[in-house]
Amino acid sequence: MLNRGITGIAYETVQDGEGRLPLLAPMSEVAGRMSVQVAMRFLETDYGGRGVLLSGVPGVPPADVVILGCGIVGFNAAKIAVGLGAHVTMLDINHNRLKYIDDVLHGNVITVYSNPVTVQRAVSYADVVIGAVLLAGARAPVLVTEKMVSQMKPGSVIIDVSVDQGGSVETTRPTTHAEPVYKLHNVIHYGVPNIPAAVPRTSTYALTNAVLPYIRTMASKGLRKAAEEDSALALGINLAQGVLTNEAVAAAFGMGWKSWQDMA
Amino acid sequence: MLNRGITGIAYETVQDGEGRLPLLAPMSEVAGRMSVQVAMRFLETDYGGRGVLLSGVPGVPPADVVILGCGIVGFNAAKIAVGLGAHVTMLDINHNRLKYIDDVLHGNVITVYSNPVTVQRAVSYADVVIGAVLLAGARAPVLVTEKMVSQMKPGSVIIDVSVDQGGSVETTRPTTHAEPVYKLHNVIHYGVPNIPAAVPRTSTYALTNAVLPYIRTMASKGLRKAAEEDSALALGINLAQGVLTNEAVAAAFGMGWKSWQDMA
Amino acid sequence: MLNRGITGIAYETVQDGEGRLPLLAPMSEVAGRMSVQVAMRFLETDYGGRGVLLSGVPGVPPADVVILGCGIVGFNAAKIAVGLGAHVTMLDINHNRLKYIDDVLHGNVITVYSNPVTVQRAVSYADVVIGAVLLAGARAPVLVTEKMVSQMKPGSVIIDVSVDQGGSVETTRPTTHAEPVYKLHNVIHYGVPNIPAAVPRTSTYALTNAVLPYIRTMASKGLRKAAEEDSALALGINLAQGVLTNEAVAAAFGMGWKSWQDMA
Amino acid sequence: MLNRGITGIAYETVQDGEGRLPLLAPMSEVAGRMSVQVAMRFLETDYGGRGVLLSGVPGVPPADVVILGCGIVGFNAAKIAVGLGAHVTMLDINHNRLKYIDDVLHGNVITVYSNPVTVQRAVSYADVVIGAVLLAGARAPVLVTEKMVSQMKPGSVIIDVSVDQGGSVETTRPTTHAEPVYKLHNVIHYGVPNIPAAVPRTSTYALTNAVLPYIRTMASKGLRKAAEEDSALALGINLAQGVLTNEAVAAAFGMGWKSWQDMA
Amino acid sequence: MLNRGITGIAYETVQDGEGRLPLLAPMSEVAGRMSVQVAMRFLETDYGGRGVLLSGVPGVPPADVVILGCGIVGFNAAKIAVGLGAHVTMLDINHNRLKYIDDVLHGNVITVYSNPVTVQRAVSYADVVIGAVLLAGARAPVLVTEKMVSQMKPGSVIIDVSVDQGGSVETTRPTTHAEPVYKLHNVIHYGVPNIPAAVPRTSTYALTNAVLPYIRTMASKGLRKAAEEDSALALGINLAQGVLTNEAVAAAFGMGWKSWQDMA
Amino acid sequence: MLNRGITGIAYETVQDGEGRLPLLAPMSEVAGRMSVQVAMRFLETDYGGRGVLLSGVPGVPPADVVILGCGIVGFNAAKIAVGLGAHVTMLDINHNRLKYIDDVLHGNVITVYSNPVTVQRAVSYADVVIGAVLLAGARAPVLVTEKMVSQMKPGSVIIDVSVDQGGSVETTRPTTHAEPVYKLHNVIHYGVPNIPAAVPRTSTYALTNAVLPYIRTMASKGLRKAAEEDSALALGINLAQGVLTNEAVAAAFGMGWKSWQDMA
């Protein structure tokens, strides 16, 4: 890419002042909502699960869904799980986030401050565990150990949405849409990194919605002016005119770099 | 009363065609709602309880409220407990009732078909157990055994609203507003039979609302005509002109009786 | 069975005074809720669908779910679809039922009086059609014609829950859990008659909840007394002591029959 | 005003650090809520409309309300329309705003990323279009073209709340409370700029609530000190002691100006 | 009509076993919902009202809506008023109905047992009074006296939906869509008997939905057979083959009559 | 403490960039929720109150709860009161806060801009007044005068959560868990400063959740580094190595001080 003199903007480094990644957010929304949909499927007997209906019926309790992380992925998973009538527990260490969820979901979820004890307890009664702890630019912390997994109910399901950042469950590893799951300790593990690919129509619209405003601005003002006015966009420029412009990438590859502002 | 020739109508024998007791229903509504209010209080440390806030706060789970019986008492208890954000489990054997509750409370309660196994399981994790199983004209069935009580969490609370019909918890006995609770197996037992007396203003209005239409009808038509037209009212007449008119009462006291219809 | 002198009670002929089938109701609840879960799956691209996420995400509309019939199946499907944030249209000809749904789901679904014009219009914009029109003891009416199916969006999904009663969609035929779907006019057809089998744990509990009270009564009172006191149960007795006791079955097989009441 | 040496503060230039206009916000809330109320009226036949009840009734679908813009006006319009049971579609290009609305209105509205294609599609099925796109200090963008209007359903209604900033619908022009509407392409156009005037009691309280804190501060501290401490207020000062202090106004009239800070 | 030998079925005498009027119910739904819409309008200053926005805005309270009667009209009015965020009080003497409304509207309305004292108190603080007390086949009872009206707030609004049955407000009299209101004691009175005519599209669909099943049955089976099988329909037949068949109508006109069952 | 060379961090001076006190917030949540629970109790006759059930029952209106202040305490009180079905009025002068509450509680509370007139009016009809106006580092403003208290309904209840900052009700003074209330003007006054102590289990978890992250950071990085990186923590350091480091405290005691940054 450098040889061809391409100017490249990476979705995952466009970042606004509050650390949000506006071009990845829509995919996180889709992934969070899909994670519950996937979990429902693998709870069915034909798919190897416990044979449990997530929503229950009158007289038969619903499934227990435990969501690790209250970010975009976790919150969207919760919206769906709550809507289905599941019994939902969410864990996080960000009190402001727990508070907002409590405001908006009106006591329909149980929010728990996350620590090893509360994670262990929640996982032990879960029918579904959704790993949704993502740290920007870092490996996801491993919250669920193999020992915890080994004590889960047989036929329960783990969906680890953070698998492409190392996973927040010790026993998850990346899988594919073709072979999405494997069993370990009699627990179904789902580790497809690109969940939104299952619903491309929705995902494409969602992604395009996010990207379009940047493209419009670049088209009308040119990249330089657009980036000067929008620091989020500026952070996205990884290479320009054949030169690396992202310090971290340069460091990773042992190459030199130059700030794009310093280029002609 | 017989000597004085009183004509007496008993609230608890006025009964409509579907077996409902229209003059007791409002008190059941008050008792059901009050039962949660009382439980909250006795969960406080100063009152001997576990020191738990029923609603929890963001990051700390709410209390577990288990309600035995989905009749008027149980449903009103559930409305309040759900409104407070508690984690509510309701048990009953009437599927139509479980269905209605599922419709109206939108998955905010977990409905469970009641049997000894499900009762035992629910009681074992409860912070609050509300006994609300009332059978018209019969002793309440004992659903919670002393053994189950002995396995409850220390400082948890039992409110047995059915205590005046024998109680649906083996270890409950009637108490008074002055000495409302006692501890057994480290569980707080509340067995005040007349809970609504704590909120007389609300209770009086509620009761008067129910009674007034009958009084109006009797005042305008006379008792005989009113009772002829309204079989619920007719069932309420226990004595008339110095004669017993309720067969069951007569049998209980070994006295003679006469149908009020047969009197002049 | 007759030779062996078996006394047989059929789930599907136990029927209460209002025409309800209390032993089938729980399965209808499971089937209704499962139908939406199944539909979500087949909307995924890997399963042949349009690639649409049922709930949408902010900025991308949800899927359109059209439910034909507001009975137990349809209402339970609606609860789930509404909970997921889908755009739900329900059709029926029973105004009281439409009114109840409007009360309980608070304007979250659009209720439409069903006739060929409204069905055609709704199906034309649907991503998912759920056939839930079941007539007790009769073939389901065909509401969706092949022509309507041929005008549906490519990759949309039909779940015909009434398929074992002939189906309410002209183009559906029974399928199996092993081969659950086929495509016709580029529309995915799902016609598995026994949907609840996918979640046997939930289904078994639900069914047992419904059956248990009858078994208890029969065990304590004997079948004869139990049936005399409960007309729903009485209707369920299809053969007794080696004699057919159900007139309709007898007629279908050209055999004689006898009322169970007339037997010793 | 300059001659009289008046010190003038303009409501519309008091602006806080995040670009919000605190003295105009309450009027936007009233206007947004009123816009739906006005639309309901003009859907009635006597007022020239389609004869449609916004909320529908069980069996008859509600009206389709399309809201362009998710700012204060649009969100308040949506709250009302959702409360009435209308089928509501909101369009905007601000993803964070769409997300918040999705959180708070729980899937009761359909949020769509706005672009010419989605606007065209939404307008084509609308019974009511509410134009609520307001850009601070700029002409509202024209989102709905005359061609789109010409394809709307006969008797549908456009309420253009942004009409006093040029309007977001090509065919709207300002009207008056006396003659509030006109028809074009058989579509009712409502372009009253000062909608809140219809409910002066509510509007006056709302406005006073917003203004009072500023007046109190000025009364206790004097204008200079108050403005020094509150940059929003400072921006509101347009003229002081007979001198223009707002650069933009000065430019518009070709007059000189002076910063109020520089005055004695 | 008799001379022409017409067979006539009157909408208002088709009545089911529980006393419901299935052909009038849809119109009551429309009228109930419209009543709030009309009230909103007349609260506007231009229409003579108090200048109050029914829903209020943050910081300014909503209007007080008092609904007399919890039947179809009243309940539909309440749904709309609650949806708008008004402060709603409903009065009735039917406890079961109050209970159902409390279940379904989740504490969003205040239910009050109706008697002269509670009516007087509620009316005294109302911005809007909706008279929705309808007794089948009898004059509506006058619940609101002229004295109560004279003590209402200036510019408040009375919508008397029961006006065509005599009205439940002493001071209301029928008005027309052309001249819908008059002022008395500075209170706006709206007494249009046929409110649904304002939204004919919705009303016609609603009415047709209700009528169509009867027409279909009559078309396929003939009137006689249809009426024999459906007692509600039978009650609707007021004249047949030139003979009066409704006893009450015959009595009112001093004419003879014959049961339709007795005719050839 | 200075003599012993202790380094002390005060919960109440840890303060983030937006003026929030993260270590006190959880206690405010508990206090707000408890305040309603306490109010319910003192409305009971045995506790001296009006004998009113906060939630009412069908046919009997709920209690009126007036909450002064929409901060953490007030909002949490409102959540509980709304959940119970009380009629809730909230007053504040922060429009953004009123707006958020209107968004999240969906019109279930009445928000009113606070000024002496609106406070007086609200207090006059209240069954419960909750004082929840807390100014960071300043005496709470007295909003409710003794005269207003003297005009409250007999047996009504005041819970003044701000009592330890001087109280927002003129007649409240601190009380204890042992003697929590006193009567004045026949109004019950509750002024326990440390409400959360009644539910120590919940409170301890809530507090620990908030404190733990700071302790972890200090343990892994040392206090100096932790404080350098987190300005909220830095503000919490009141004394270090035997030297006062908080200017305000030093001033209050007439002692010298030194910035902790200036220490070795």
Amino acid letter for position F165:
Q
| Residue E91 · residue E119 · CB < 8 Å | yes
DSSP F57: B
Give the long-range contacts of residues F90-94, CB within 8 A, separation 24 or more: F90/F66, F91/F66, F91/F67, F91/F118, F91/F119, F91/F122, F93/D213, F94/F70
Three-class secondary structure of residue F187 per DSSP? strand
Residues of chain E with pLDDT > 90: what percent? 65
Kindly tell me whether chain B and chain F come into contact, counting contact as 3+ Cβ pairs under 8 Å: yes
Confidence of residue F42 (pLDDT cuts 50, 70, 90): very high
Say yes or no for a CB contact (<8 Å) between F95 and D205: no
Q: Across chain A, what does the average pLDDT equal?
A: 91
Query: In which band, very low, low, confident or very high, does the pLDDT at A111 lie, cut at 50, 70 and 90?
Result: very high
The identity of residue A111, as a single letter, is T
Please list every residue in chain F whose beta carbon sits closer than 8 Å to the beta carbon of residue A103: 104
Report the interhelical angle of B25-42 vs B200-221 (nearest 10°).
Answer: 170
The model's pLDDT over F220-247, given as tens digits with 9 standing for 90+, comes to: 998 889 988 888 898 888 888 888 888 8
pLDDT of E137: 64
Nearest by CB: F93 against D26, D104, D213: D213
F146 has a pLDDT exceeding 80: yes
pLDDT tens across the length of chain B (264 residues): 778 888 888 888 888 877 788 898 999 999 999 999 999 999 999 999 999 999 999 999 999 999 999 999 999 999 999 999 999 999 999 998 999 999 998 778 999 999 999 999 999 999 999 999 977 667 889 999 999 999 999 999 999 999 988 899 999 999 999 999 999 999 999 999 999 999 999 999 999 999 988 998 999 998 889 988 888 898 888 888 888 888 888 888 888 888 888 876
Per-residue model confidence as pLDDT tens digits over A146-161: 999 999 999 999 999 9
Longest dimension (CA), chain D: 71
The residues that bridge with C90 in the sheet, in sequence order, are C67, C111
- With CA atoms as reference, report the closest residue to A125 among A100, A151, A92: A151
- Tens-digit pLDDT profile for residues D85-109: 999 999 999 998 999 999 998 778 9
Contacts with A222 (C-beta within 8 Å, 6 or more apart), sequence order: none
Residue D45 to residue E199, Cβ atoms within 8 A? yes
Interface size between C and D, measured as CB pairs under 8 A: 58
Q: What does chain A come to in residues?
A: 264
- Output the pLDDT for position D256: 85
Using beta carbons and an 8 Å cutoff, which residues of A are at the interface with B? 55-62, 82, 84-85, 87, 89, 95, 98-99, 101-102, 106-108, 110-113
Q: What is the pLDDT of residue A12?
A: 82
> In sequence order, what are the residues at sequence separation of 6 or more whose Cβ sits closer than 8 angstroms to the Cβ of residue C122?
C66, C89, C91, C112
Tokens of F218: 């200090």
Q: Which of A58, A62, A89 sits opposite B98 (nearest CB)?
A: A58
pLDDT of residue E107: 74
**CB atoms < 10 A from the CB of F118, how many?**
18
Give the 3-state secondary structure percentages of chain B, helix then strand then coil, rounded to 5.
45, 15, 40
Q: For residues C34 and C55, what is the distance between their CA atoms, to the nearest angstrom?
A: 16
Smallest Cα distance from C110 to chain E, Å = 14
Q: What's the mean pLDDT in E227-241?
A: 87
Looking at residue D164, what DSSP letter applies? G
Give the whole-angstrom CA distance, residue D47 versus residue D200.
Answer: 23
Closest residue in F to B77 (Cα) is F84
Termini Cα distance of chain D: 19
- State the average pLDDT for chain F: 91
Query: For E113-153, what is each residue's pLDDT tens digit?
Result: 999 999 999 999 999 999 999 776 678 899 999 999 999 99
CB contact under 8 A, A26 and C57: yes
Among residues F1, F8, F21, F4, the alpha carbon closest in space to that of F260 is found at F8
Q: Which pLDDT does position B102 carry in this prediction?
A: 92
Q: Write out chain E residues lying below 8 Å of F108, CB-based.
A: 107-108
pLDDT of D137 > 70? The answer is: no
Interface test with F, best of E108, E119, E124 (most F CBs within 10 A): E108
Contacts 24+ apart (CB under 8 A), D241-249: D241/D5, D241/D7, D242/D2, D242/D3, D242/D4, D242/D5, D242/D6, D243/D2, D244/D2, D246/D10, D246/D13
Q: What was the pLDDT predicted at C4? A: 84
- Which residue ranges of chain C lie beneath pLDDT 70? 136-137, 264
Q: What is the mean pLDDT of residues F99-121?
A: 92
Taking Cα atoms as reference points, which of C165, C122, C169 lies closest to residue C28? C165
The residue of A60, A80, A100 whose CB has the most chain B CBs within 10 angstroms, and thus the best one to mutate to test that interface, is A60
Nearest to A85 among B60, B107, B112 (CB): B107
Residues of chain C with C-beta less than 8 angstroms from the C-beta of E213: 93
Does A195 score more than 90 pLDDT? yes
Q: Is the pLDDT of residue E244 over 90?
A: no
What separation in angstroms does the CA of E129 have from each of B138, E35, E102, F87, F176?
46, 10, 20, 20, 47
- Return the structure tokens found at A151: 């004590």
What's the average model confidence in pLDDT over E153-182?
95
Cross-strand pairs, C89: C66, C110
What b/e string do you get for B168-186 counting C-beta neighbours within 10 Å, with b at 16 or more?
bbebbeebeeeebbeeeee
Instruction: Name the pairing type of β-strands F243-244 and F237-240.
Output: antiparallel
What is the C-alpha separation between D221 and D215, in angstroms, rounded? Answer: 10
Q: Are D148 and D121 in contact (CB under 8 A)?
A: no
b/e string for D177-204 if b means 16 or more Cβ within 10 A? eeebbeeeeebbbbbbbebbbbbbbbbe
Q: What would the mean pLDDT of D36-51 be, rounded to a whole number?
A: 95
Nearest CA in chain E to D200: E51
Beta bridge partners of B65: B88, B128
Q: What pLDDT score does E249 carry?
A: 81
User: How far apart are alpha carbons F173 and F158 in whole angstroms?
Assistant: 11
Per residue in F153-164, pLDDT (tens digit) is 999 999 999 998
Top pLDDT among E60 and E137 is at E60
φ, ψ (nearest 5 deg) of residue E249:
-65, -45
Show which residues on chain E lie within 8 Å of chain B, measured between beta carbons: 93, 95, 99, 103-104, 107, 113, 115
Residues on chain B touching F46 (C-beta within 8 angstroms): 177, 198
From the CB coordinates, do chains A and E have 3 or more pairs under 8 Å? no
- The pLDDT value recorded for residue A193 is 93
Phi–psi pair at B121, nearest 5 degrees: -65, -45
pLDDT of residue B136: 66
Q: Which residue of A has its CA nearest to C29?
A: A57
CA atoms F154, F159, F163, F169: torsion sign: negative
Whether A contacts F, i.e. 3 or more CB pairs less than 8 A apart, is yes
Element (H, E) at E205: helix E200-221
Between chains, do A33 and C57 touch, taking CB under 8 Å as contact?
Answer: yes
Domains in chain E, please, with CATH?
Answer: 8-19+200-262 (3.40.50.720), 25-198 (3.40.50.720)
F57: nearest Cα among B113, D138, E71, B31: B31
Check residue F137 and give its pLDDT: 65
Q: Do chains C and B touch (3 or more CB pairs under 8 A)?
A: yes
Chain C residues inside the 8 Å CB shell of D84:
107
Whole-Å CA distances, F221 to A107, B63, E223, F218: 37, 37, 90, 5
Tell me whether residues F113 and D25 touch, CB distance under 8 A: no
From chain D, pick out residues whose CB is under 8 angstroms from the CB of F104. Answer: 104
Least confident of B199-208, D10-19, D47-56: D10-19
Is residue D136 scored above 70 in pLDDT? no
How much is the pTM? 0.92
Contacts of B83 in chain F (CB under 8 A): 55, 82-85
Cβ within 8 Å, pair D85-C95: no
pLDDT at D145 over 80: yes
Q: Give the residue among A59, A61, A69, A79 at the shortest CA–CA distance from A125.
A: A61
Q: How far is F107 from chain D (nearest CA, A)?
A: 9
Q: How does residue E242 score in pLDDT terms, banded at 50, 70 and 90?
A: confident
Distance CA A207, CA A90 (A): 27
**DSSP codes of every residue in C99-132:** HHHHHHTTTSEEEEE--HHHHHHHHHH-SEEEE-
Q: At what angle do helices E25-42 and E200-221 cross, to 10 degrees?
A: 180
Which residue of chain B comes nearest to E94, CA vs CA?
B210
* pLDDT for residue B82: 94
Strands D8-9 and B181-184: unpaired
Task: Say yes or no for a CB contact (<8 Å) between B210 and E95.
Answer: yes
Strand pairing class (D87-92; A157-160): unpaired
The confidence score (pLDDT) of residue D17 equals 78
Which residues of chain B make contact with E95, given a CB cutoff of 8 A? 22, 25-26, 209-210
Chains that touch B (3 or more CB pairs under 8 A): A, C, E, F
pLDDT at C136: 66
Distance between CA atoms of residues F185 and A127, nearest Å: 56
Taking contacts as CB-CB distances below 8 angstroms, the residues of chain E near F106 are 85
For the segment E80-110, what is each residue's pLDDT rounded down to a tens digit?
A: 999 999 999 999 999 989 999 999 987 789 9
User: Among E120-124, F15-19, F88-92, which stretch is predicted with the lowest mean pLDDT?
Assistant: F15-19
Residue D263 has pLDDT above 90, yes or no: no
pLDDT at residue E136 in the model: 66
Closest-CA residue of chain B to C23: B95
Query: Which among C95, C101, C110 is the nearest to D61, CB-wise?
Result: C110
Model pLDDT, residue C182: 98
